[in-house]
Amino acid sequence: MIRVVFWRGTGGLPAGFRVQGHAGYRPKGEDIVCAAVSALAQTAVISLKDHLPAAPEVNIRDGVLECRLPASLNATAQEQARVILRTIELGLKAIASDYKQYVTIEYEGRE
């Protein structure tokens, strides 16, 4: 199962996300659920790196992608990050809705 966690910071502002695990929908190389989740997560990282004045901290290892936003973002950059992360959240929720037994979405942090 893939577990997605969105982190929230002070005031509910986005702080980043973690995608962990493998869907197990099909064998490796044929798993459309893993491919879809991975594409969204990697696109979010690329977009954050492209749009923010400071790059997020990204950690990728087998079955895990973590992306933490820099703490020093100004209000404009925070809004850009929020839009990007909200977009990935909507896409992942759609996947999780169709593949409930393979993807879960959780939230950690302050509201």
Residue range(s) defining the domain that contains residue 41: 2-109
Long-range contact list for 46-49, CB < 8 A, 24+ apart?
47/84, 48/81, 48/84
Which pLDDT value is given to residue 10? 83
Tally of domains within the chain: 1
Which pLDDT value is given to residue 110? 66
Tens digit of each residue's pLDDT (9 = 90 or more) over 19-65: 999 999 999 899 999 999 999 999 999 999 999 999 999 999 989 99
Regarding pTM above 0.85, the answer is yes
- Residue identified by tokens 């209000």 is 75
How many C-beta atoms surround the C-beta of residue 21 within 10 A?
A: 16
Tens digit of each residue's pLDDT (9 = 90 or more) over 56-111: 999 999 899 999 999 889 999 999 999 999 999 999 999 999 999 999 999 998 65
Residue 15 tokens read as 């702080």
